[in-house]
Amino acid sequence: MHVSQQLRRLRCELNLSQERFGKRLGLSGKSVSAYETGRCLPTVKTLQHISAEFNTNFTEMSTDNRVYLSKRLEELETSVMQLKAGLSELLSL
């Protein structure tokens, strides 16, 4: 189960709207929506905060979560490398 699905399941089990769930965490309802749909990935700090606030554990990730996060990390690393190359080229002009 992906982090997005885990967050939605947790919120629904607590019978909280996205807005109320977010307020308890210092987030907006839009942020919660973005996490639940997978448009954005919560930071490790946010997941730790959720774990502490709702007495749950996101540190033990399923294989699906690990694969998903690994792919996202690879995408970010590729983007950073492309950005560095572009900046180096720009600075050498």
pLDDT tens track for 6-27: 899 999 999 999 999 999 999 9
Residue 30 reports pLDDT greater than 90: yes
Q: Helix 18-25 vs helix 44-54: angle between axes, to the nearest 10 degrees?
A: 100
Architecture of domain 1-60: Orthogonal Bundle (1.10)
Contact 18, 33 (CB under 8 A): yes
Assessment of whether the complete model's pTM goes beyond 0.95: no
| Structure-block tokens of residue 49 | 């905060």
| pLDDT 10s digits, 51-76 | 888 888 765 556 776 777 788 889 99
Say what the pLDDT of residue 93 is. Answer: 75
- Cα separation, 32 vs 28, in Å, equals 7
User: Greatest CA span in the chain, whole angstroms?
Assistant: 57
Q: What would the mean pLDDT of 63-90 be, rounded to a whole number?
A: 87
Say what the pLDDT of residue 37 is. Answer: 93
